Structures are given as structure tokens and as C-alpha cells.
């Protein structure tokens, strides 16, 4: 069940990043930087660009039990 939730979150996040990037490029072409929706779109874009990789890493850590490997000294990248 967790797997389907993560897939939904990742696909939704990728879709939102693409859509918001497309919409903000249209806002910039119109030169309407005072528009409230432009700033909400920028905030969502920054959130998903920053948090989506963290969520993916947490999911892979859960699947492959990275915490135990880290305590053994095998997983020393992070």
C-alpha cells in the first residue's frame, strides 16, 4: 500500500513541476509578476523541486533498509 502512495506522490509531483514550470513561463511572457497565482506557483515549484527527491530517498531507504546498512558502515555516502 505504501508503494502505491509513493508512486502517486512522485507522479503527481513530476506532473505539477512540469505544469507549474509551463504556467510560470506563460506568466513571465505576459509580464504579470504582480499576480498572486504567479507567486503561489513559484512557491509550489520550489517546494516540489526540493521535497520530491527527499521523499524518493526516504522511500528507497525504507525498501532497502538503508538504516541498518549505515550502522554497519557499508552505506557511507550520506
Q: How many structural domains does the chain have? A: 1
Residue-wise pLDDT tens digits, 13-67: 899 889 888 887 777 777 666 778 888 888 988 998 998 888 888 888 877 776 6
The predicted pLDDT at position 15 comes to 92
User: Could you tell me if residue 78 is inside a domain?
Assistant: no
Q: Which residue range is the domain that position 20 belongs to?
A: 2-72
Distances (CA, A) of 75 to 42, 56, 63, 70: 35, 17, 14, 5
The DSSP secondary-structure symbol of 48 reads: H
User: Could you tell me if residue 77 is inside a domain?
Assistant: no
What confidence tier does 68 reach under pLDDT thresholds 50, 70, 90?
A: low
User: Could you tell me if residue 8 is inside a domain?
Assistant: yes
Task: Pick the more confident residue, 74 or 22.
Answer: 22
CA distance 5 to 15: 15
Amino acid at each position: 500500500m505504501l508503494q502505491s502512495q509513493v508512486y502517486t506522490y512522485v507522479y503527481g509531483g513530476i506532473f505539477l513541476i512540469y505544469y507549474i514550470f509551463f504556467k510560470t513561463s506563460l506568466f513571465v511572457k505576459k509580464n504579470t509578476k504582480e499576480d498572486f497565482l504567479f507567486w503561489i506557483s513559484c512557491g509550489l515549484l520550489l517546494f516540489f523541486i526540493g521535497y520530491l527527491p527527499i521523499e524518493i530517498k526516504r522511500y528507497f531507504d525504507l525498501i532497502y533498509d538503508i538504516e541498518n546498512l549505515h550502522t554497519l558502515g557499508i552505506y557511507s555516502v550520506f
